[in-house]
Amino acid sequence: MKRQLFALLAAAVCLASLSEVAARASYSAPWDAASDAAAERAIDRLGQRPWLEIRASVRTIPMPTAQIESAPDSKSVVDDSTASGLPQDLKLPPNAPKDRPVDVRGTTEIDEYRAAIAPYVAKGRQTYPEAKRRYLAGLPHGQTFLVVTNLHDKAGTTEQVFVAVAKVLDGRITGRIATDNLTVIGYKKGDLYSFPESDLIDWLITHPDGTEEGNVVGKFLDEWGTRRRH
Amino acid sequence: MTRAVAALLALAIPYFVSACTREADTPVKSSQSAPPSTKKVAVSPAPEKPADALASNLTNFSGAVADVTEFRRKGAVLTALVRLRNQGTTIAVVDISFADAYVMDAGTKKYQVLKDEDGAYIASATARVNDGLVDGGTKTIWMKFPAPPLEVRTATLVVPGMPPFEDLRIQDQ
């Protein structure tokens, strides 16, 4: 029995020391010849483009019927407590359109996407002052003012989202993110977010009956995304 | 005697298991990014940067601070050296997977840690660093990336378990 235990112990110690060898770094130092040579070979294997294009994820955001009961009906000047008063959980009615994300990746697709939406972004920005004026004057009960902007993270993902507006002041729009299932890191639906009006992409005003005004970029992307899928 | 052997065995087996799992390539997702919104920036104070460091960051490893001491481009290869210092009073357990480390060039291109023909990372460990740092202890890790083009003078280094080191100046030889 003792002999078996010794054998087992010896085997265990032996295996442990072997695995410790395997666990050690393959390369002893950053500037030694072996690591430099391995790195050069790795670069050769990667070819002319040893990088990954950072992906941009774009959402079409067809969710115009968010019901935000406590959205402000008027007020040109509202403090942060108004934004905080917006519900975290922005419930959509059952007939709300499904979110249909459009993924674009690589410089070519991103350039194509930017070029495609540019005229619609211009149109959204052109009509935004009138929509803002109506919001500041006070929208009828049940109507909600949402704007569209891009969120970015350090991993390079860009995502186009809705923000339910709570305040427009001194060239900045403040509200809560109203898009579900974000892929951009560090944000979630319901987060308070503030950004300059110059970063606005589009706007929309939702009505209680499910209709909407604006959202020209979203409507275009809906169609564009469908075309790309076919 | 049998009891003593059994006790030794009991000590040896966990060591074996630990050694086997040490290099397992299971990516650990960590917070690599701080969102740009001013509403969401981290509030931790930046650690003091030693004179020999290009940049320093607090880490998620209790008590440990990370200094980038080299970020050097040599030919087509960029080498990053990161020194981990335990400034706490207890052991800091550092767990860094090279699978999740990368360099980002002006937000358009991402360069991952190079791998050799055997799939091992060309770095201070073949897949990950998983060590305990005693108080006051230091450990330097390193990793090699494809170098951004020469006209790129700064880049962001992302190492799991700590905020990104943004806009690091690339040292050219």
Range of the domain at A205: 58-229
Pairwise CB contact (< 8 Å): A155 & B32: yes
Give residue-wise pLDDT tens across range B73-121.
999 999 999 999 999 888 889 999 999 999 998 767 889 999 999 899 9
Does residue A199 sit within a domain?
Answer: yes
Residues in chain A with CB shorter than 8 Å from the CB of B116 are: 26, 38, 41-42
B115 touches chain A (CB under 8 A): yes
Does residue A90 sit within a domain?
Answer: yes
B36 touches chain A (CB under 8 A): yes
Distance CA B59, CA A153 (A): 19
The pLDDT score that the predictor gives to residue A111 is: 74
* pLDDT interval class at B159 (50, 70, 90): very high
A210: left (phi over 0), alpha (psi -120 to 50) or beta: left
Mean pLDDT of A111-132: 89
Distance CA B57, CA B70 (A): 14
Half-sphere exposure of B163 (CA within 13 A, CB side): 19
Give residue-wise pLDDT tens across range A79-119.
444 455 455 555 444 444 445 566 666 666 777 778 888 89
CA distances from B77 to A35, A41, A49, B143 (A): 11, 10, 13, 10
Does residue A10 sit within a domain?
Answer: no
Does residue A65 sit within a domain?
Answer: yes
The pLDDT score that the predictor gives to residue B3 is: 42
Say what the pTM is.
0.47
How many helices and strands in chain B, by DSSP H and E? 1, 11
B136: left (phi over 0), alpha (psi -120 to 50) or beta: left
* pLDDT interval class at B46 (50, 70, 90): low
B26 vs B146, which has greater pLDDT?
B146
Pairwise CB contact (< 8 Å): B40 & A191: yes
Pairwise CB contact (< 8 Å): B117 & A27: no
Q: Which residues pair with B80 in a beta bridge?
A: B71, B143
Number of domains in chain A: 1
Give residue-wise pLDDT tens across range A134-149.
999 998 888 889 999 9
Note the CATH architecture for domain B50-172.
Answer: Sandwich (2.60)
Does residue A15 sit within a domain?
Answer: no
Residues in chain A with CB shorter than 8 Å from the CB of B39 are: 191-194
Distance CA A58, CA B124 (A): 37
Does residue A132 sit within a domain?
Answer: yes
Q: What is the ipTM of this complex?
A: 0.71
Pairwise CB contact (< 8 Å): B111 & A6: no
Identify the residue among A1, A3, A24, A27 best suited for mutation to test binding to B, counting B beta carbons within 10 A and taking the highest: A27
* pLDDT interval class at A74 (50, 70, 90): very low
Give residue-wise pLDDT tens across range A53-70.
766 555 544 443 333 333
**Token digits for A154?**
């350090």
Pairwise CB contact (< 8 Å): B19 & A40: no
The mean pLDDT value of chain A amounts to 72
| pLDDT surpassing 60 at residue B1 | no
- The domain locations on chain B are 50-172
Q: pLDDT exceeding 70 applies to what percent of chain A? A: 62
